[in-house]
Structure 1
Amino acid sequence: MSKPKNVVITGASAGIGRAVAREFGARGDNVALLARGQGGLDAAVKDVEAAGGQAMAIATDVAEYSEVDSAGRQFEAEFGPIDVWVNVAFTSVFAPFEKITAEEYRRVTEVSYLGYVYGTMVALERMRPRNAGTIVQVGSALGSRAIPLQSAYCGAKHAINGFTESVRTELMHEHSNIHITIAQMPAVNTPQFSWVLSRLPNHPQPVPPIYQPEVAARAVVFASDHPRRKQYWVGASTAATTIGQKAVPALLDRYLAKTGYASQQTDQPVSSNRPDNLWAPRDAERGDDYGAHGIFDKRSHGRSPQLWVSQHARSTSIAAAGLTVAALLTRVRRT
């Protein structure tokens, strides 16, 4: 049996981060759980331990560098050097750009982009002396192709791609044994659609095809074990947006302008005053836990042929070609 790894996960109290924590726990790893909400953190500890790992919950706002740095120090003091750091934490606003305030835009950027920067900084500060370690960024199809109503989130995801590419090439220049990679996510069935700040008339939804958080979690763990490729595509929407952006961006603009509003909302009205997690966590109280899954279980896939292609292709170019075929096959099965 291999030695347990020491893993840090931001945004670990719910959604993809929660599923990732369970996946690493099932391998017997030691997992640091970073998030703001105590209720979700407490439940995540139980998940990791039930799966077979050890867990340390550290209440952390990733928009504050000092808190992220303190969390890294606490975890290493208890378990030793960090082997893997996974950046997942984010927040967002569903609204047209003109209806988002400057303060809200700054908050989304601080959490969803600078949170990744701070996490990467803290990880590298601890990995450099040993010249070993892996950083996995949880990206998004929306980092390749932006859509309406999510300008703050899309901007952050685009920024993560550019930031990560820059850091990767610096590590390559240094001939470093530290690796950084991105798992590019499709639409995932997480609780975010029930707690994100929204100014839409109807309940927000992920744009189909939708995948379960466990698909995302398997991708992240695989990427942590095979980090030399710069990115992994996880689902059909990830592949389709990337391919479409490169092939016919103008046509894609017109298509999204026409369909992007309706496709991101259900037919269920929702109050514009519903509680959200932009400024404070929804799971702040003990026992208040949202778990990994959102409300779209019946519409979500538990497997992804695109992830299989991305994992097994020998090169990025071969993966891209395979993703094109896999995306087309997925579309054929849905029609």
Structure 2
Amino acid sequence: MSMRNIPPVIVITGASSGIGRATAYAFAKRGASLVLAARRARMLHETAQECAELGATAMAVPTDVTDERQVQALGRRAMERFGRIDVWFNNAGVGIFGRFEDLPSDAWRRVIETNVFGYMHGAKVAMRQFRAQGHGTLIQNASIVGRIAKPDSSAYATSKFAIRGFSEALRQEVLDQPAIQVCTILPSVIDTPFFEHAANFSHHRVRAAPPVYTPEKVADTVVELVDHPQAEVVIGGFGKVGSFLKPLLGPFGTRINGRLLNAGFLANEPSPPTSGNLFAPMEDGRRVRGGWRHGPNNGGVPTVALLGLAALSMGLLAWQRSRADDRSRYA
């Protein structure tokens, strides 16, 4: 359903902060009808009130997406209030940092329960309603980590790779109903409270690795997908360059990515282990941004640096292949 015609009914999970809250604001400014979900009831109601002040009809439905019954209730509340669901944005997610062997199994499992099963619960409610009404758009937040992975985040990377595969399978299942769309967004590093909220067993302070992009950039992409659906959209120059280089560089790219991202996300400062917001939400009052955009860490400067990295990577790859050719020639 086009944003240019009747204002759509939008369900957003993880709407109390970060990308979810920014997206709620973006749709609210366009007069959408919003059904907002998250675990933190106080912040969720605050978001709904602010969206109403921006011109939306908004309701807050406190929801833990790991509980399928709560997600089903979320869908029922949306239908009782508005009679349809036009867009479902699966966005609620959690993260964990630390080497795989150091991560508690229950914490690893909780990431999968939230980021994969939470999306499955939402998608099932959405897709059943979309089929019944003959249209709808499912948008899933998969992260650029779902394409290039990163070290010290094995559970998170696993969950985001899973969401890409899940989304592609759903796209193939709805070929019989072309008015149903499944879109996957792959944001680069975004300035949200995610890093403060993540579980951390790395023994290092976690930070956002530059370049860092705004949550509003992601929100604008989500809004645009309602009128112009795409299967997958990478958000941010770093992610676009990384996606381009990954299949070209092979094992060499794995080494570059692993070294750079390990140093980028983990500071040389100690940090005690914490389960973050995995099992209970953090009532820290953080709203949309995490405060990571400052100095060169602002998402705008690194274009030249990214091009330089791409050129360096391609040059090193060419050099490696040249050496391999030389060895084979004289073998």
Alignment TM class, shorter chain as reference: 0.7 to 0.9
- Residue 292 to residue 60, structure 1, CA distance change in 2 (3 Å): same
Q: How does 1:1-335 map to 2 (within 5 A)?
A: 2-172=5-175, 174-227=176-229, 229-273=230-274, 276-283=276-283, 289-299=285-295, 301=298, 328=307
- Residue 7 to residue 304, structure 1, CA distance change in 2 (3 Å): farther
Note if contact 1:139-1:182 (Cα within 8 Å) is conserved in structure 2: yes
- Helix, strand or coil for the counterpart of 1:243? helix
Matched to 2:307, the amino acid is L
Cα shift at 1:297: 2.9
Structure 1 match to 2:323: none
State how far apart, in whole Å, the 2-side matches of 1:298 and 1:165 are.
36
Matched to 2:185, the amino acid is A
Structure 2 match to 1:313: none
Cα shift at 1:12: 0.6
* Root mean square deviation of aligned Cα: 2.4
State how far apart, in whole Å, the 2-side matches of 1:2 and 1:54 are.
16
Cα shift at 1:64: 1.3
Note if contact 1:12-1:89 (Cα within 8 Å) is conserved in structure 2: yes
Matched to 1:132, the amino acid is H
Point out the more displaced range, 52-61 or 41-50.
41-50
1:177-204 deviation line (CA, Å, top 9, x unaligned)? 1111111100001101112111223321
1:255-298 deviation line (CA, Å, top 9, x unaligned)? 1333332211234443324x720000113xxxx52101002132
Q: How many equivalent pairs are there?
A: 307
Cα shift at 1:112: 0.6
State how far apart, in whole Å, the 1-side matches of 2:116 and 2:188 are.
18
Matched to 1:291, the amino acid is R
State how far apart, in whole Å, the 1-side matches of 2:302 and 2:280 are.
37
State how far apart, in whole Å, the 2-side matches of 1:270 and 1:99 are.
14
State how far apart, in whole Å, the 2-side matches of 1:305 and 1:24 are.
29
Note if contact 2:245-2:310 (Cα within 8 Å) is conserved in structure 1: no
- Residue 305 to residue 269, structure 1, CA distance change in 2 (3 Å): closer
Point out the more displaced range, 182-191 or 198-207.
198-207
Structure having the higher Rg: 2
Matched to 2:119, the amino acid is Y
Note if contact 1:148-1:257 (Cα within 8 Å) is conserved in structure 2: yes
Cα shift at 1:211: 0.3
1:215-244 deviation line (CA, Å, top 9, x unaligned)? 1111111112211x2111211121122112
Note if contact 1:40-1:290 (Cα within 8 Å) is conserved in structure 2: no
- Helix, strand or coil for the counterpart of 1:98? helix
- Helix, strand or coil for the counterpart of 1:211? coil
State how far apart, in whole Å, the 2-side matches of 1:34 and 1:200 are.
30
- Residue 40 to residue 258, structure 1, CA distance change in 2 (3 Å): same
State how far apart, in whole Å, the 1-side matches of 2:231 and 2:215 are.
22
Note if contact 1:235-1:305 (Cα within 8 Å) is conserved in structure 2: no
Cα shift at 1:176: 3.4
Matched to 2:233, the amino acid is Y
**Unpaired stretches in structure 1, ≥5 consecutive residues:** 307-324
State how far apart, in whole Å, the 2-side matches of 1:221 and 1:290 are.
23
State how far apart, in whole Å, the 2-side matches of 1:222 and 1:16 are.
15
- Helix, strand or coil for the counterpart of 2:226? helix
State how far apart, in whole Å, the 1-side matches of 2:46 and 2:270 are.
30
State how far apart, in whole Å, the 1-side matches of 2:206 and 2:228 are.
34
Structure 2 length-normalised TM: 0.86
Matched to 1:211, the amino acid is Y
1:287-323 deviation line (CA, Å, top 9, x unaligned)? x5210100213255477999xxxxxxxxxxxxxxxxx
